Amino acid sequence: MGRNITEKIIESHLVSGKMVPGEEIAITIDQTLTQDATGTMAYLQFEALGVPRVRTKLSVSYVDHNTLQVDFRNPDDHRYLQSVAARYGLYFSRPGNGICHQIHLERFGVPGTTLLGSDSHTPTCGGLGQLAIGAGGLDVAFAMAGKPFKLKMPHVVNVRLTGKLQPWVSAKDVILELLRRVGVKGGVGKVFEYSGPGVKSLTVPERATITNMGAETGATTSIFPSDEITKEWLEAQKRGKDFVALSADQDASYSETIEIDLSSLEPLIAVDPSPGNVHPVTELTGTKVDQVCVGSCTNSSFRDLAIFAEILRGKTVHPNVSVLLSPGSRSVYQQIAKSGHLEILIAAGVRILEATCGPCIGQGGAPPSGGISVRTFNRNFPGRSGTKDAKVYLASPEVAAACALTGEITDPRTLGEYPKFKIVPPVVDDRLIIPPLPPEEAEKVEIIRGPNIAPLPEFDPLPERLEGEVLLRLGDDITTDHIQPAGRFLPLRSNVPEYARQATFVQVDPTFSRRAEALRDSGKFGFIVAGENYGQGSSREHAGLCPRFLGVRAVIAKSFARIHLANLINFGILPLLFENKEDYDKIKQGDKVSLDTSDLSGELKLIVNGELEIKLKPAFSEKDIPMLKAGGALPLAASGS
């Protein structure tokens, strides 16, 4: 029987398990990437593993999230990361070089190989046919130490593209259409593999926009074939030697097929509070807009910024709209400078920022109170922008440009003829990427730890019985931005105790960390109860690490998001499911609960307030039990198992 692309890559990297959807498998990892906000913790963990040098084919450490540097903390993190890269044989992409996913696509991704990244948008490199998966920092640390990566064999969905995008409609509308159809949980346990005649009409950066935002469906990853277009694109990046052709066999099979006719798509927009809340732009025309932001790892290729500039050519942004733009990479920045688009943008009144994540992760550029911000980004979770009551809408660069000009949500098709422009060749410039040192020099490098780098907390084994209290009862689709917000708290990423005390669930319930610590200090344990898709969104392991530090030892949910589930297990928090989902309604915040954890493969019964019994089942596998018993992956590794 023929194989699809996903199966081909997994088969050639398979270490254990069977390629049966849902079965646990382990694969070798060729490349890793980290960024600064998850990287400091990943490298502290890597250091704890005691490996002398990374054992992957290539590992890159990027600095792109925390670049505001309002005090010593972010630059201290950068210096730590640079010294770690030099010591352990990694490439180091300096601050200002651009966003990890955009640079990895341009400079490092290789079709047919595997990439594990401590960022949920790692699937961006699926745009060039790499099996690129997001994970928690600890999983990336283990991969850098040469250990295989464990995951459930995904169901592979064939997304068959036909037709061709019409003027004013672009790649963002393709992924918004998929999100409109499947929603934010529709991809869990799946890989979206693109095929069909429509693929040929999309460039690599356009494909990457689609695979990047595929993360919002909860998918394991998304992937495109590697074809002539990939070859030409790699050649333009002076990486022609990295090209490998990759396509599904004629008789490949898929678990399901989704057909998207590109010709029939119209401009779409995802409305606050979820990337899955997608509507045609025409349903919202006339809504007042206060801010427009262009960039992020989703939409900041040369094409995206150039079309945005072309629409603004010779005009001025609306007086009530503040327009910000952050290029995806220094290369794209230089490209728009060379092509003249930068000048058009400056003349139109656009505020040009660094080539970093910027407003996407609340590092500057917050909207005004109650404001509406239209962004070419991938997430619009409440509060993520830095302004609690602002609303973020997600759309293409074309829609963003139309809004920037009119001050209201506008169908770009009303602007007249679609501008034409030339795609200029990329600027290949790796001068801000420091290559690995040879081993004999690397060994002599001293790691620099400023005062912001706190040691890793130590975690104890799982007791035989958990006595405690339900600290929170939450609804569906709780994101990691709810659990462990980023934005102004980002400088605390290297300091778990402080990050936990100041930020855990702070936007949901500001009393949470105080209550949790008091319970922990009384010798009891915290429980969280949640609905469907708990932990959707980012890969930040702090969303497991910080609650664990505060004494949370079990999360009981109707279902979990993939990366967060792995992070909970890695940090010794029991992820549990309701045997009957209706039992969710029988629990409330403040209930006294107890759970016998002596036999995690046996019956799991939660006793509520000493009387009610609720049947639970594990969201972990048999193989995870030793790790959970040891209190997490690091204590387990330290015990020599």
Residues in 350-389 that interact with ligand MIC by CB under 6 A = 361, 379
Please identify, among the stretches 19-27, 117-125, 158-166, 507-515, the one whose residues bind ligand MIC according to the rule CB under 6 A: 117-125
Q: Which of 30, 36, 64, 583 is catalytic?
A: 64
Q: Which of 222, 274, 301, 538 is catalytic?
A: 538
Complex with ligand SF4: residue 324 or 462, whichever CB lies closer: 324
When CB distances are held under 5 to 8 angstroms depending on the partner's kind, the choice from ligand MIC, ligand SF4, none that residue 10 binds is none
Please identify, among the stretches 151-159, 248-256, 261-269, 535-543, the one whose residues bind ligand MIC according to the rule CB under 6 A: 535-543
When CB distances are held under 5 to 8 angstroms depending on the partner's kind, the choice from ligand MIC, ligand SF4, none that residue 193 binds is none
Is 64 tagged catalytic?
yes
Is 251 tagged catalytic?
no
Using CB atoms within 10 A of its CB, is residue 166 exposed (0-12), middle (13-18) or buried (19+)? middle
Complex with ligand SF4: residue 32 or 378, whichever CB lies closer: 378
**DSSP string computed for 86-131:** HHHT-EEE-TTSB-HHHHIIIII--TTSEEEESSTTGGGGGGGT-E
Please identify, among the stretches 250-258, 353-361, 433-441, 553-561, the one whose residues bind ligand SF4 according to the rule CB under 6 A: 353-361
Residue 444's Cα: distance from chain center in Å? 34
Using CB atoms within 10 A of its CB, is residue 311 exposed (0-12), middle (13-18) or buried (19+)? buried
> Is residue 515 near ligand MIC by the rule CB under 6 A?
no
Residues in 256-275 that interact with ligand SF4 by CB under 6 A = none
| Distances from the Cα of 74 to the Cα of 63, 77, 188, 361, 492, angstroms | 10, 5, 34, 15, 9
> Is residue 216 near ligand MIC by the rule CB under 6 A?
no
Given candidates 85, 144, 292, 360, which one binds ligand SF4 under the rule CB under 6 A?
Answer: 360
Helix (H, G, I), strand (E, B) or coil at 601: coil
Complex with ligand MIC: residue 546 or 614, whichever CB lies closer: 546
> Is residue 139 near ligand MIC by the rule CB under 6 A?
no
Which amino acid does the sequence have at 336? I
Min separation Cβ 393 and ligand MIC, Å: 17
Min separation Cβ 364 and ligand SF4, Å: 12
Min separation Cβ 117 and ligand SF4, Å: 9
| Residue 553 near residue 464, CB atoms below 8 Å | no
Tokens for 618, please give them: 């594990």
Tokens for 38, please give them: 């998850």
Q: If residue 80 lies in a helix (H) or strand (E), which one and from where to where?
A: helix 73-88
Residue 561's Cα: distance from chain center in Å? 12
Is 379 tagged catalytic?
yes
Is 465 tagged catalytic?
no
Cβ neighbors of 35 (< 8 A, separation 6 or more) are 62, 63, 64, 65, 100, 118, 119
> Is residue 107 near ligand MIC by the rule CB under 6 A?
no
Cβ neighbors of 610 (< 8 A, separation 6 or more) are 592
When CB distances are held under 5 to 8 angstroms depending on the partner's kind, the choice from ligand SF4, ligand MIC, none that residue 296 binds is ligand SF4
Cβ neighbors of 473 (< 8 A, separation 6 or more) are 529, 530, 587, 588, 589
Helix axes 36-48, 137-144, angle to 10 degrees: 50
Q: Could you give the CA distance from residue 180 to residue 169 in angstroms, rounded to a whole number?
A: 16
Tokens for 18, please give them: 């069977």
Min separation Cβ 414 and ligand SF4, Å: 29
When CB distances are held under 5 to 8 angstroms depending on the partner's kind, the choice from ligand SF4, ligand MIC, none that residue 38 binds is ligand MIC
Is 538 tagged catalytic?
yes
Given candidates 59, 296, 495, 594, which one binds ligand SF4 under the rule CB under 6 A?
Answer: 296
Q: Which of 30, 36, 61, 65 is catalytic?
A: 65
Given candidates 486, 550, 577, 600, which one binds ligand MIC under the rule CB under 6 A?
Answer: 486
296 — phi, psi (to 5°)? Answer: 75, 170
Which residues of this protein are in contact with ligand MIC, per CB under 6 A? 37-38, 65, 119-121, 134, 361, 379, 486, 537-540
Point out the residues that are catalytic: 64-65, 119, 379, 538, 540
Chain positions contacting ligand SF4, by CB under 6 A? 65, 99, 119, 121, 296-297, 357, 360-361, 377-378
